[in-house]
Structure 1
Amino acid sequence: MHAFGADFAAPSGYLNTPSMGIPPAPVAAAVAESVENWRTGASRPGDFDEYVARSRAGFARLLGVEAGRVAIGASVSQVIANVAAALPERTRVLTAEGDFTSVTFPFAACGHHVTEVPLDELAGRVEGHDVVAVSVVQSADGRIADLPALRAAAEAAGAAVLLDATQAAGWLPLQLAWADWVVAAGYKWLLAPRGSAWLAVRPDAQDRTRAVAANWYAGEDPWATVYGLPLRLAGDARAFDLSPVWLAQVGAAAALEYLGGLDLAQVRAHNVGLADTLLEKLGLPPRGSAIVSLEADPDRVAAAGIVSGLRNGKVRVGFHLYNTADDVERVLHAFE
């Protein structure tokens, strides 16, 4: 199908973007070409620096920050480890109850005191905590954090804020330059291959972040830091770079440039319009999110031709660029 200026091969009924996004044709073609170059010995390691720079810049644009504030990585938990490992012992971390464990586990594994509270109470419970770590959009059910309230509460309490934008970036317009750290994985709403992730670091938070996987690519000039000491990391957020997953960065560069050319307000209107239409037709109140969690028989949903996720015992569906009203009707059919 053709949608938002690109061709997609997503089958009808594919509503599993919160688990894995479907790339537009140019993204898949870029990765396929890179695989062919690899297969035929036409690739050189330095060729991929261009793609890393493009994906870094593309992620920065989506958040409204400078590219020098963005580090590349491979997964959300891996990039968050740079934050969790740098915090003083037994730091008091506040998070949302039931948030994705890639957000919370790095802090718990470092021995910090992590407190979970209901998402709608988060802003009101910031006082007494050092760091707030939360997903912008909850993975399990699509609830959206009240970022203005959280920002105000964190500033009043002097708490740092880490946001996971994995389930938000790509459909929800974001301006997150105010957060100390913002992370996201690329293989869901950003339509990139798995193995691409990013960490945006506010300049005054860089000294509160540790390069736990310091490596040659994190050097000021990566090709000059391949051998030998002393430690010489980049002066900006590239100090936290992981050596890139090449094919993932090729796809991410193309995907983020494509998304960066869209009006995300229109994308949100499209996605949320479908999700809220589904809820309305089921007699449920709108939620204003692209992700919907439903009490439904997963076998009946699958029999209706719907590809979905199962989270916390509920069927989870997500609407993105390639979904249409026909997908809403397929879900409704499972409830007949």
Structure 2
Amino acid sequence: MNTSPSGAGVAGAAHLWAAEPGFLNTASFGLPPTPAWDALQRAQDDWRAGRVSWEGWADATELARASYARLIGVDPADVAVGSQVSQLLASVADAVPDGGVVLVPEQEFTSAVFPFAVQADRGVTVRTAPLAELADRIDAGVDVVSFALVQSLDGRLADYAGIVAAARAAGAWVVVDATQACGWLPFDGALADVVVAGAYKWLMSPRGTGFAYLAPQLRERMRPSQAGWFAAEDPHSGYYGLPLRLAKDARAFDVSPAWHAWVGTAPALELIEQIGVANIQAHDVALANRFLAGLGLPPRDSAIVTVDVPGAEQKLAAAGIRAAVRGGRVRAAFHVYTTAADVDAAVAALLS
């Protein structure tokens, strides 16, 4: 089987997915491309038979780290790897000064809010504001502004540049959750102090892998409180005992990788790089707008859209369309494996 793109852009890679018709739920989880699926199966077969050592599986972590860094335009030395957004943000939240103020959008996904909220015993306060007003609410009293580039609830895009500009003027840290953005939305990660992303959605990886860009100036204020053997300068030079010998870059904040999940992550990110995020964006947004147009709604600039159609959940289920319901509205997400036929079938179901 051909496991490489056969041409430029999304169309040339379409044969690398085995999606059944009607999957519009990437905002919940992405579907693995064939190279990632095959790599994962080989690794699990090797594990079952005990025919290899584990070091090769761990190597996939470094390949994935480098891919993520290229996708968001940062140095791999400034990228830590972990398992979940909340885990990756824990050390960031621990570094917020006692009595600090963290500003987040209303209805932000809890994994990007709770790590800060649990700091309340140190006097840390979490304030909320409407997403559209977030930049205007940043003042000298705000220490951190934390927000998703693309809202999980409804697909709205944050004013990244505007929020960053306001935060810099106020001296606040900028913490970005790119889980619903990375893989389809081009952006400059270096504008922020922190960019976290879970890889199991738009990066189409197994659940249990994630990344955090940690700017050097912020790392100086952070403590790697979850440090283990993989956070060492050379993890393989000595597995036992003191002295403490942490990496001098963002790898000090790594947690020990779940091997097989990373084996499936590295090829997925490599394929995204080959296709090109701008090409994926054009494909995804065009399909989202086709969906909206079919329902008589104006276009948007996101791969995630929500619609309020009476009986929508039941209508989609009856037609075999897999989407999500968030806040009482249907949330549909469109990615590289989505086709015009998927969109038209969903529209027909909702209009029935």
Normalising by the smaller structure, the TM-score range is over 0.9
Tell me which of 7, 16, 34 is aligned to 1:7.
16
Cross-structure match for 1:27? 36
Tell me which of 211, 214, 217 is aligned to 2:227.
214
Divergent runs of 4+, >3 A: none
Q: Given the alignment of the two structures, is residue 246 of structure 1 paired with residue 259 of structure 2, yes or no?
A: yes
**C-alpha distance in structure 2 between counterparts of 1:211 and 1:176, whole Å:** 21
Distance 1:213 1:301, change over 3 A: same
Q: Given the alignment of the two structures, is residue 119 of structure 1 paired with residue 128 of structure 2, yes or no?
A: no
The alignment of Structure 1 onto Structure 2 pairs a total of residues equal to 336
Query: TM-score, length-normalised on structure 2?
Result: 0.93
Q: Cα deviation per residue 1:194-237 (whole Å; 9 max; x = unaligned)? A: 01001111111111222121101000011234211222210000
Give, in angstroms, the shift of residue 75 of structure 1.
Answer: 0.4
Cross-structure match for 2:322? 307
Q: Cα deviation per residue 1:165-206 (whole Å; 9 max; x = unaligned)? A: 000000011211121000000100001100100111111111
Q: Percent identity?
A: 48
**C-alpha distance in structure 2 between counterparts of 1:291 and 1:158, whole Å:** 32
**C-alpha distance in structure 1 between counterparts of 2:317 and 2:222, whole Å:** 44
Residue pair 1:217, 1:241 contacting (<8 A) in 2 also: yes
Q: Cα deviation per residue 1:110-157 (whole Å; 9 max; x = unaligned)? A: 222001111000111111211000001000100000011011111111
Counterparts of 1:25-104 in structure 2 under 5 Å? 25-104=34-113
**C-alpha distance in structure 2 between counterparts of 1:189 and 1:95, whole Å:** 23
Residue pair 2:43, 2:57 contacting (<8 A) in 1 also: no
**C-alpha distance in structure 1 between counterparts of 2:270 and 2:102, whole Å:** 34
Code of the residue aligned with 1:223 in structure 2: it is H
Cross-structure match for 2:284? 271
Tell me which of 229, 232, 243 is aligned to 2:242.
229
Give, in angstroms, the shift of residue 4 of structure 1.
Answer: 4.1
Matched residue SS, 1:115 = strand
Give, in angstroms, the shift of residue 262 of structure 1.
Answer: 1.8
Matched residue SS, 1:110 = helix
Matched residue SS, 1:261 = helix
Structure 1 unaligned residues grouped into runs of 5+: none
Residue pair 2:144, 2:175 contacting (<8 A) in 1 also: yes
Code of the residue aligned with 1:83 in structure 2: it is V
Residue pair 2:304, 2:332 contacting (<8 A) in 1 also: yes
Counterparts of 1:174-213 in structure 2 under 5 Å? 174-213=187-226
**C-alpha distance in structure 2 between counterparts of 1:309 and 1:335, whole Å:** 14
